[in-house]
Amino acid sequence: MQSIAEKDLGTPARLSAKTVTLSIDDREILVPEGTSVMRAAALAGVAIPKLCATDQLDAFGSCRMCLVQIEGMKGLPASCTTPVAQGMKVTTQNKQLADVRRGVMELYISDHPLDCLTCPANGHCELQDMAGVVGLREVRYGYEGANHLKAEKDESNPYFTFDPSKCIVCSRCVRACDEVQGTLALTIQSRGFDSKVSASQDNPFMDSECVSCGACVQACPTATLSEKTLIEKGQAEHSAVTTCAYCGVGCSFRAEMQGEEVVRMVPNKDGHANHGHSCVKGRFAIGYATHPDRIIKPMIRAKISDPWQEVSWEEAIAHAASELKRIQAKYGRDSIGGITSSRCTNEETYLVQKLVRAGFGNNNVDTCARVCHSPTGYGLKNTLGESAGTQDFDSVMSADVILVIGANPTDGHPVFASQMKRRLRQGAKLIVADPRRIDLVRTPHIAADFHLSLRPGTNVALINSLAHVVVTEGLVKEDFVRERCEVDSFEKWRAFVANPKYSPEAMESVTGVPAASVRGAARLYAKAGNGAIYYGLGVTEHSQGSTMVMGIANLAMATGNLGREGVGVNPLRGQNNVQGSCDMGSFPHEFTGYRHVADDAVRHSFEAAWGVGLLSEPGLRIPNMFEAALDGEFKGLYIEGEDIAQSDPNTQHVTAALSAMECIIVQDLFLNESAKFAHVFLPGSSFLEKDGTFTNAERRISRVRRVMKPKTGYADWEVTQLLSNAVGFPMNYTHPSQIMDEIAKLTPTFAGVSFELIDRLGSVQWPCNAQHPEGTPTMHVGTFVRGKGKFLVTEYVPTREKVNAKYPLILTTGRILSQYNVGAQTRRTANVQWHDEDRVEMHPHDAEQRGIIDGDWVGIASRAGETVLRARVTDRVQPGVVYTTFHFPESGANVITTENSDWATNCPEYKVTAVEATRVAQPSEWQKRFREFTNTQEALVKQADVFVK
Ligand code: SF4
Ligand code: SF4
Ligand code: SF4
Ligand code: FES
């Protein structure tokens, strides 16, 4: 069902420079060529009755409700499928039309339950509305004939109901699943009276290919497909537009509310990142905010073996501040630090780094973006001049060839994946470089032209051999390179990649990819017209992550694929605010906008604004904090919204470092893995409880709007402010908009950003300043941010993590659609029905050699540790490679990952761990200790009355 607040113009907008003038019920209207009569009428303020049409889907013309008369045309054409023409004269209302529409409606209603008053859609049902519009008073056929009124409901999906008795077979759901989502899970089965909507092969929704994105629910004009929350709670009373707090797509939603309670999240048609689409997480998985595990009161304890004690906010903040001051007095200024979060808003992140730099007096601040996209910042800054992706998402609709490297968009960035799939169905070519056969390689109506199934850890070898083909086969866009790039650096790079050692043939034994495929893929991309690269953590989370990002930028520059629509280098950011947390100065060496702390002019501007002296030396990165803690030099840590004990590599090393500290302050929604080592717990607020902004993978800054009061009493930014005041560095903001104003004043790329601007435009992509007052959808147009693009030599250096007889397999990791990162939120929703444990995927050949069958418990041992997971035997992974997700703490995926990291940024090498797999009968030693420790910690909080009611 459409959201109550949205107007539906019937058919999608048409983009045409040519316009057409026509008259509708004697009203003149000018519209782009190709517009439907129905949409033109809606734009002229004339609502034509409709059922099967919606402006989110191409017109279909099945219901015959929208018939009109057009002067000079025979019969009564359907206005939704009839395009406008110059001088056309349309009549939408007369007796003949009214009679026909009433007759059509009568047939619908004769096979529809008459339970409007108790129906969840009552008052918001398009069928009900249309019955009113056409003036249906009685049904002449009676209700006794054959009908579908007893059709059984399908309640299998945890979030929505399918009640076929209410279905009018308009096919909107089927088309939404095809056109918007691209899953093609639904069909109309049979014909005529017997026709019905069915999921996959007439399965319950839960057993079908449905991925629960909600597009069909959104499209359904009746209550056939309805959110269960809507059925339980009834219609919303008010709504506010906000931004999803899960992934870096940054979908816009309308939170529909009853008082302080969310009735449902409806994707916003005006959302610039999602255009009205959603995935199962943002659309449905919000129950974690009221899950009984959520803690809403502050707590303290002296030792981690002590029970937690509920205290007032005043006491918690005073205790935290006095501990931090005590530690600094005893161990020195640099003995404490803070970690910001890519889950929190820009304003909150900015405040944490400000607290560390100005309040703690050091630069010991880092962010969880360290462990995902820090190489993106480094690699793109050094080649192109800006640490961010180059395009907006809509740019993909102009791409001719799409090269996806080390990303799994259908699981990790589902709404963008749907858009990408739309472009691929239109005919764009696809190259996938991934060790695993991700869904995109073969999905309905899409097949990758090349799947470069490389060995984990050989990205740089692959990008160099792609580049080798480009430079040795005369595929370089010489004009672009001469005009836009540093020619010296190009010549050096050209000579480097032209070396026969990087030929696809020479590299085949390294990458495992047939040379012919590399040559074919390189030619396809270079000759594309518009070639667009999208990449993810499969690029960055390697010992050569930064090198690979530079290699990608080199390839894009050499082929002229930058600086316009349809091309570009596009990092698919993991978390909702990874881009923002990096932009906000969360790294120890950088202020906001990626400016080094050693830059005197920049530092002085912050000193002047904050009224304190600041250090010109970078502080500690997260891994350095752990080392310093184990050396007894780092003793206090403030962690806002990140769970390093689960998300960082080599868990046993991390927990040893946490155990060595004297005061750990965790600000979070739940007693997460890190909080089990904490001394102060400051309850956090969910995205529904605060104002602020998130910045998505397109550099798009969108508003997060408070739809309910913070359940803890304070939003996260207020808590940081309280702590800052208590450590002696005063902050006096009364609203997050003031924090953004300060960011804008101090950051050239944000100079024009304000809440007022975002509210006016809906969202804005930085840079946003005097040159780009309404933001910058495409970067590097005409010239690169650094002036001339710089090619950098990208020597392939194999990772130190080698397979050998003891550890013969390579483990690589990734995410799954229904769960999210450490799973703290999604595990506390019905999304567990899709994925309730992490499994290790193993090729049938490797499984057979080890006597492992699907479902067996498998011990995975690496040089760092051992864990036990159940096996999934599948040929999605290549022989020699095993794969797992990492959404459940007890899986211990990071017990096995090592401390190897990117040479430039310390981003951990999560994607390559040498392991052995053996069939086992019981959990690993670590898992037994983990369970025991978890039980103890849970007991220490159980008696405190701190949970949400
Ligand atoms: S389920 Fe809804 S959208 Fe689908 S055919 Fe039936 S009425 Fe139309
Ligand atoms: S929820 Fe999404 S995937 Fe499932 S049937 Fe509906 S549109 Fe298709
Ligand atoms: S694609 Fe990402 S931002 Fe959009 S709804 Fe899903 S999780 Fe949220
Ligand atoms: S709305 Fe035009 S035929 Fe259904």
Mean pLDDT of 728-755: 97
Q: Which residue has the higher pLDDT, 624 or 943?
A: 624
- In this prediction, residue 139 has a pLDDT band, given cuts at 50, 70 and 90, of low
Measured in Å, residue 78 CA sits from the centre of ligand 4 at 6
116 residue type, one letter: C
- On average, the pLDDT of the chain sits at 93
Choose among 607, 435, 588, 604: nearest CA to 511.
435
The residue whose C-alpha atom lies closest to atom 7 belonging to ligand 1 is 167
- Look-up of token digits 């008082």: 259
pLDDT digits (tens, 9 = 90+) for 824-848: 788 889 998 998 899 999 999 999 9
Measured in Å, residue 280 CA sits from the centre of ligand 1 at 19
153 has pLDDT over 90:
yes
The residue whose C-alpha atom lies closest to atom 2 belonging to ligand 2 is 213
Cis bond leading into 767, ω under 30°?
A: yes
Choose among 793, 792, 781, 791: nearest CA to 485.
791
Mean pLDDT of 83-109: 92
Q: How far is CA 798 from CA 125, 372, 458, 540, 736, in A?
A: 61, 20, 7, 15, 46
Please report which ligand is nearest the Cα atom of 76: 4
161 has pLDDT over 80:
yes
Q: Could you please report the per-residue DSSP string of 77-91?
A: -BTTTPBP-TT-EEE
For residues 674-713, b (16+ Cβ closer than 10 Å) or e, as one string? bbbbbbbbbbbbbbbbbbbbbbbbbbbbbbbbbbbebbbe
Q: Of all residues in the chain, what percent carry a pLDDT higher than 90?
A: 81
Q: Of 160-164, 408-412, 826-830, 892-896, where does mean pLDDT reach its minimum?
A: 892-896
Mean pLDDT of 107-114: 80
The residue whose C-alpha atom lies closest to atom 1 belonging to ligand 2 is 212
User: Which atom from ligand 4 is nearest to the alpha carbon of 64?
Assistant: 3
Cα distance between the two ends of the chain: 31
Q: Of 66-70, 269-273, 480-484, 926-930, where does mean pLDDT reach its minimum?
A: 926-930
The whole-number pLDDT of residue 898 equals 84
Measured in Å, residue 857 CA sits from the centre of ligand 2 at 33
Please report which ligand is nearest the Cα atom of 223: 1
754 residue type, one letter: S
Q: Which two tokens stand for residue 580?
A: 């923002």
Q: How far is CA 860 from CA 245, 457, 863, 879, 916, in A?
A: 33, 19, 10, 16, 6
Please report which ligand is nearest the Cα atom of 195: 1
Measured in Å, residue 532 CA sits from the centre of ligand 3 at 22
The residue whose C-alpha atom lies closest to atom 3 belonging to ligand 4 is 61
Q: Ligand 4 within 6 A of 64 CB?
A: yes
The residue whose C-alpha atom lies closest to atom 6 belonging to ligand 3 is 279
User: Which atom from ligand 2 is nearest to the alpha carbon of 176?
Assistant: 7
User: Which atom from ligand 2 is nearest to the alpha carbon of 215?
Assistant: 7
Measured in Å, residue 177 CA sits from the centre of ligand 2 at 5
- Residue 366 pairs with which residues in a beta bridge? 339
- Measured CA to CA, the distance from residue 56 to residue 221 in angstroms comes to 12
For residues 496-511, b (16+ Cβ closer than 10 Å) or e, as one string? bbeeeebbbeebbebb
**Cα angle for residues 809, 813, 369 (degrees, 5° grid):** 135
pLDDT digits (tens, 9 = 90+) for 230-241: 999 999 999 999
Measured in Å, residue 707 CA sits from the centre of ligand 2 at 27
Please report which ligand is nearest the Cα atom of 283: 3
- Among 168, 208, 227, residue to substitute to test ligand 1 (most atoms within 8 Å of Cβ): 168
**Cα angle for residues 651, 656, 662 (degrees, 5° grid):** 130
- Measured CA to CA, the distance from residue 520 to residue 801 in angstroms comes to 30
- Beta-carbon contacts of 394 under 8 Å, excluding residues fewer than 6 positions away, are 419, 777
Q: Ligand 1 within 6 A of 167 CB?
A: yes
* H or E segment to which residue 681 belongs: strand 680-683
User: Which atom from ligand 3 is nearest to the alpha carbon of 413?
Assistant: 1
Q: Ligand 2 within 6 A of 212 CB?
A: yes
- Measured CA to CA, the distance from residue 675 to residue 666 in angstroms comes to 6
3-state secondary structure 114-126: CCHHHCCCCCCCH
Q: Which two tokens stand for residue 613?
A: 């002296």
- Among 171, 184, 187, 216, residue to substitute to test ligand 2 (most atoms within 8 Å of Cβ): 216
- Measured CA to CA, the distance from residue 369 to residue 375 in angstroms comes to 10
Strand arrangement of the beta sheet that strand 700-704 belongs to: 692-695, 700-704, 763-765
Residue 156 burial (C-beta neighbours within 10 Å; 0-12, 13-18, 19+):
middle
Q: Ligand 4 within 6 A of 850 CB?
A: no
pLDDT digits (tens, 9 = 90+) for 568-579: 999 998 788 999
- Beta-carbon contacts of 928 under 8 Å, excluding residues fewer than 6 positions away, are none
Measured in Å, residue 185 CA sits from the centre of ligand 2 at 6
Mean pLDDT of 746-768: 97
For residues 363-395, b (16+ Cβ closer than 10 Å) or e, as one string? bbbbbbbbbbbbbbbbbbbbbbbbbbbbbbbeb
pLDDT digits (tens, 9 = 90+) for 342-366: 889 999 999 999 999 999 999 999 9
- In this prediction, residue 2 has a pLDDT band, given cuts at 50, 70 and 90, of very low
The whole-number pLDDT of residue 147 equals 67
Measured in Å, residue 462 CA sits from the centre of ligand 4 at 51
Is the distance from CB of 288 to CB of 824 less than 8 angstroms? yes
The residue whose C-alpha atom lies closest to atom 1 belonging to ligand 4 is 50
Is the distance from CB of 478 to CB of 526 less than 8 angstroms? no
User: Which atom from ligand 4 is nearest to the alpha carbon of 38?
Assistant: 2
- Beta-carbon contacts of 62 under 8 Å, excluding residues fewer than 6 positions away, are 52, 170, 171
CB atoms within 10 A of CB 834: 16
The whole-number pLDDT of residue 141 equals 59
The whole-number pLDDT of residue 476 equals 98
- Among 8, 52, 108, residue to substitute to test ligand 4 (most atoms within 8 Å of Cβ): 52
Measured in Å, residue 169 CA sits from the centre of ligand 4 at 12
Q: Which residues line ligand 3 (CB under 6 A)?
A: 244, 246-247, 249-251, 274, 278-279, 281-282, 414-415
Q: Could you please report the per-residue DSSP string of 313-330?
A: HHHHHHHHHHHHHHHHHH
Q: Which two tokens stand for residue 947?
A: 């949970």
Choose among 856, 850, 867, 862: nearest CA to 924.
867
Q: Ligand 2 within 6 A of 224 CB?
A: no
Query: Beta strand pairing status for 299-300 and 309-310?
Result: antiparallel
The whole-number pLDDT of residue 647 equals 83
- Measured CA to CA, the distance from residue 626 to residue 468 in angstroms comes to 41
The residue whose C-alpha atom lies closest to atom 3 belonging to ligand 2 is 210
- Beta-carbon contacts of 453 under 8 Å, excluding residues fewer than 6 positions away, are 434, 435, 436, 437, 512, 513, 878
Distance of CA 232 to the CA centre of its chain: 29
DSSP E strands in 190-285: the ranges are 196-199, 225-227, 238-243, 252-258, 261-267
Q: Which two tokens stand for residue 768?
A: 């946003």
The whole-number pLDDT of residue 203 equals 92
475 has pLDDT over 70:
yes
Q: What is the DSSP letter of 649?
A: S
- In this prediction, residue 145 has a pLDDT band, given cuts at 50, 70 and 90, of low
Measured in Å, residue 105 CA sits from the centre of ligand 4 at 12
- Beta-carbon contacts of 234 under 8 Å, excluding residues fewer than 6 positions away, are 120, 258, 263
Q: Ligand 2 within 6 A of 186 CB?
A: yes
929 has pLDDT over 80:
yes
- Measured CA to CA, the distance from residue 351 to residue 220 in angstroms comes to 44
Please report which ligand is nearest the Cα atom of 41: 4
Measured in Å, residue 903 CA sits from the centre of ligand 1 at 54
Q: How far is CA 487 from CA 123, 380, 492, 561, in A?
A: 66, 18, 9, 17
Q: What is the pTM of this model?
A: 0.94
The radius of gyration of the chain's CA atoms, rounded to the nearest angstrom, is 29
Mean pLDDT of 761-781: 95
DSSP E strands in 818-945: the ranges are 839-842, 857-862, 866-873, 881-884, 913-919
User: Which atom from ligand 4 is nearest to the alpha carbon of 81?
Assistant: 2
- Measured CA to CA, the distance from residue 845 to residue 428 in angstroms comes to 35
Helices (H), 6-83: 37-43
The residue whose C-alpha atom lies closest to atom 5 belonging to ligand 2 is 210
Q: Ligand 1 within 6 A of 177 CB?
A: no
- Measured CA to CA, the distance from residue 97 to residue 102 in angstroms comes to 8
- In this prediction, residue 613 has a pLDDT band, given cuts at 50, 70 and 90, of very high
User: Which atom from ligand 1 is nearest to the alpha carbon of 162?
Assistant: 1
Q: Which residue has the higher pLDDT, 908 or 883?
A: 883
